[in-house]
Amino acid sequence: MKVNEIMANLEAKHPGENEYLQAVREVLETVEEEYNKHPEYEAAKIVERLVEPDRIFKFRVVWVDDKGQTQVNLGYRVQYNAALGAYKGGLRFHPKVNESMLKFLGFEQIFKNSLTMLPLGGGKGGADFDPVGKSDAEIMRFCQAFVYELWRNIGPDQDSPAGDVGVGGREIGYMYGMYKKLAREHSTGALTGKSYGWGGSLIRPEATGFGAMYYVKHMVEEKGDTMQGKKITLSGFGNVAWGAATKAVELGAKVVAISGPDGVCEIPDGITKEMIDYMLVMRASNRNKVQDMADKFPGQCKFTAGKKSWSVKCDIACPSAFQNELAEEDAKQLIANGVKYVAEISNMGSQPGAIKAIQAAGIPFGPGKAVNAGGVATSGLEICQNAEHRNWTAEEVDKNLHAIMDNIYAQCVKYGRKADGTIDYVKGANLAGFMRVADAMVAQGII
């Protein structure tokens, strides 16, 4: 494999699909050396096959808003790679959703799912629907219209979507309800992130953030350090930031910033339980404004419009909202402010220049596909529970999640340890995830 040749071909074939091209380049650059030691990969054209999805469904979603007006959106499902299991990955509802975004997310998902060691293939989907300002009834009608189109292509042994940005428990509920009505069967494993009581798993809502903090704790301990008193900045205030804040506080750390599209909310004394609970209220309101937190807790929080979390001094920075949210200049500001660790909880949260700057400064950098894998891992555990018609206790789920994150961390160390003893977590995650998929593809023949 020659990365530059492959990338030149992909750029010609998929011009302007910048997020997709960025995600592919990063993985290929970090696996190139090892790949070229495996003639069986080259013979089976593993890379050429892996970079293109198995298939993409693209469809019109039509629904009626509260004013009685017809609305038209575009929906997608990218079924990327099924070497390790049925397609698995979230759905993103956001006005900027397009094919490039979902291809990058689907591509990342393949290796993330591989790292969990569960039998999960990679996929992603969503729509350019903007939940901001929508009523609950409008969200229900949109979810129903989306599933009306997609339902034949999902199922527990085919493809199992879950939530992502803009899709949480409420949306999964509406989608599962419509799926069940159309499929005429209670195939609970067709969607994950369901509510507890009708197939959902305890700890799934918290899992991405909990898993991320288990991983971050390893990064910190690797340096002989502890989580106690560490100042953490998060971005966003969605499901991921909520789970991460909950676990960070439990581990003795202090969350000193969250953010929104409108600006940053600084919390100098650290986030409280009441504030963490209020994040859920803010999400349910569909307003998408972090200023609401500062208005609710005046004196404890300070809102600044137009600023990002990365302007706030911290020990650990955790992008937890959207791709490319940490730019090179943000990384430089964090470094100047003495950041000790950076761990992405969002998918591809950092721009390539930011990762380079952080790594060049000798600061450990944890990539999203390893750090945030606890979410999809717990979706995998939800499917296990659905298959055996049983609900595990919260302790059982958390114990499994913790063990999976410990193993992901160990794989990153094994594949990412450099000659000088430090760890390149990006390379470790990509290589560990990639090898398992490549070996499965070789074993399953040219398909």
Kindly list the catalytic residues.
Answer: 124
Q: Is the Cβ of residue 73 or residue 208 nearer to ligand 2IT in the bound state?
A: 208
Choose the stretch contacting ligand 2IT; rule: CB under 6 A; options: 59-67, 146-154, 220-228, 373-381: 373-381
Rounded to whole angstroms, how far apart are CA atoms 212 and 348? 14
Does residue 367 bind ligand 2IT (CB under 6 A)?
A: no
Least distance CB 251 / ligand 2IT (angstroms):
22
Residue 409's nearest CA partner among 268, 215, 274, 193 is: 215
The set of residues, in sequence order, having a beta carbon less than 8 Å from that of 65 and lying 6+ positions away, is 71, 138, 141
Least distance CB 62 / ligand 2IT (angstroms):
25
Q: Is the Cβ of residue 213 or residue 294 nearer to ligand 2IT in the bound state?
A: 213
Q: Give the pair of three-digit tokens for residue 271.
A: 């986030």
Computed from CA positions of residues 412, 407, 319, 80, in that sequence, does the dihedral angle turn out positive or negative? positive
Least distance CB 183 / ligand 2IT (angstroms):
19
Identify the residue among 89, 126, 166, 211 touching ligand 2IT (CB under 6 A): 89
Does residue 371 bind ligand 2IT (CB under 6 A)?
A: no
Least distance CB 18 / ligand 2IT (angstroms):
19
Residue 43's alpha-carbon distances to 4, 35, 49, 431, in angstroms, are 19, 11, 11, 19
Task: Kindly identify the residues of this chain, within the stretch 328-357, that bind ligand 2IT according to CB under 6 A.
Answer: 347
- Binding string, 98-137, against ligand 2IT, x = CB under 6 A? --------------x-------------------------
Does residue 243 bind ligand 2IT (CB under 6 A)?
A: no
Least distance CB 11 / ligand 2IT (angstroms):
25
Choose the stretch contacting ligand 2IT; rule: CB under 6 A; options: 36-44, 355-363, 372-380, 412-420: 372-380
Does residue 88 bind ligand 2IT (CB under 6 A)?
A: yes
* Helix 18-35 / helix 3-13 crossing angle, nearest 10 deg: 160
Q: Is the Cβ of residue 288 or residue 347 nearer to ligand 2IT in the bound state?
A: 347
Does residue 81 bind ligand 2IT (CB under 6 A)?
A: no
Q: Is the Cβ of residue 205 or residue 263 nearer to ligand 2IT in the bound state?
A: 205
Does residue 379 bind ligand 2IT (CB under 6 A)?
A: yes
Q: Is residue 30 a contact partner of residue 426, using CB atoms and an 8 Å limit?
A: yes
Least distance CB 209 / ligand 2IT (angstroms):
12
Q: Is residue 80 a contact partner of residue 109, using CB atoms and an 8 Å limit?
A: yes
Q: Give the pair of three-digit tokens for residue 323.
A: 């791709």
Computed from CA positions of residues 38, 44, 45, 51, in that sequence, does the dihedral angle turn out positive or negative? negative
Choose the stretch contacting ligand 2IT; rule: CB under 6 A; options: 179-187, 309-317, 357-365, 375-383: 375-383
Identify the residue among 116, 144, 188, 192 touching ligand 2IT (CB under 6 A): 192
Residue 189's nearest CA partner among 151, 157, 150, 143 is: 157
Does residue 19 bind ligand 2IT (CB under 6 A)?
A: no
Q: Give the pair of three-digit tokens for residue 105.
A: 């997310």
Rounded to whole angstroms, how far apart are CA atoms 164 and 347? 10
Does residue 375 bind ligand 2IT (CB under 6 A)?
A: yes
Identify the residue among 23, 31, 162, 401 touching ligand 2IT (CB under 6 A): 162
Does residue 164 bind ligand 2IT (CB under 6 A)?
A: yes
Does residue 145 bind ligand 2IT (CB under 6 A)?
A: no
Computed from CA positions of residues 22, 26, 27, 32, in that sequence, does the dihedral angle turn out positive or negative? positive
Q: Is the Cβ of residue 164 or residue 266 nearer to ligand 2IT in the bound state?
A: 164
Does residue 171 bind ligand 2IT (CB under 6 A)?
A: no
Burial string for 264-295 (b: 16+ CB within 10 Å, else e) reads bbbbeebbbeebbebbeebbeebebbbbbbbe
Minimal CB distance residue for ligand 2IT: 90
Which positions touch ligand 2IT (CB under 6 A)?
Answer: 88-90, 112, 162, 164, 192, 347, 375-376, 379
